[in-house]
Amino acid sequence: MTFCSQLLDTSFQTFDLHDTVSHAMEMMDMHHAEYAVVLDGLNYLGLLDIVDLEEADPSSELIVLEQYFIKAQVKTNDHFLQALKVKSKFNLNLIPVLNEKNEWEGIIKADTLLEQTSLLLGASNSGAFIVLEIPRTAYAPGQINRLVESNDCMIMQLNTITDPLTGMLQLVIRVNKEEVSDLIATFQRHEYNVLYYYGEETFDNTLQNNLDHLLNYLNI
């Protein structure tokens, strides 16, 4: 299990609430940052978007912009998926991390979250991914598992997503085998809509076989 404390970047620039807008802009430009982390001592107050800073009086203190503070945060003992949820909610490229006293600890970068999510999903592991689409009322995990096991495969990861436009349920399945043509055929026989798969397939391609025979006959 991975906690937010394990993914910390403690080197990110922070600003005191009494720092000026011009100072924050100068430092953010130097570090190519899109957000300013505003602190009162060690206490975290919020994030300021560079867009809000650009529209402010350069001589103003950051505390004057308190109404624009983004209150996004996670705790050090939160699971990293909580940081992913906060990132999605606020559309950020970094997530502030605090301790139990609401004191600043550091940030988690979006790239770090992506890498950790990839590890969780086993995206780099051997095997195949299959995406099925079914009505929500037809979701039967037991049946799906039986169909997979009947093809000498094992489900290593299963995630569900609801299509906001159609209301259909999409199942993202990772199995332990890369050759999945028989499994795909099984799903199709049971009226599962296979939207996508990534793996190997060995379907008999009659046209390709006929072309190969013709080329051999012509010695090409």
Look at residue 45 and tell me whether its pLDDT is greater than 80: yes
Number of domains in the chain: 2
Residue 92 and residue 130 in one domain: no
State the residue range of the domain holding 186.
125-198
> What pLDDT does residue 204 have?
46
Please indicate whether residue 132 or residue 201 has the higher confidence score (pLDDT): 132
Secondary structure class of 21 (helix, strand, coil): helix
pTM recorded for the entire structure = 0.74
22: left (phi over 0), alpha (psi -120 to 50) or beta: alpha
Do 70 and 139 share a domain, yes or no?
no
pLDDT value at residue 149:
97
pLDDT-derived band at 121 (thresholds 50, 70, 90) equals confident
Per-residue pLDDT tens over the stretch 55-109: 999 999 999 999 999 999 999 999 999 999 999 999 999 999 999 999 999 999 9
Main-chain phi, psi angles of 49, to 5 degrees: -75, 140
Mean pLDDT of 206-212: 52
- Taking the C-alpha atoms of residue 184 and residue 156, their distance in angstroms, rounded to an integer, is 16
Let me know: does 170 contact 161? Beta carbons within 8 Å: yes
Does one domain contain both 83 and 134? no
What CATH number should be reported for the domain holding residue 144?
3.30.70.260
- pLDDT for position 127: 87
Helices of type H across 56-180 = 80-90, 110-121, 141-149
- 4-22: burial string, b at 16+ Cβ within 10 Å, e else: bbebbeeebebbebebbbe
Domain at 80, CATH number: 3.10.580.10
pLDDT score recorded for residue 56: 96
Query: Among residues 117, 143, 162, which one ends one of the domains?
Result: 117
With cut-offs at 50, 70 and 90, classify the pLDDT of residue 119: confident
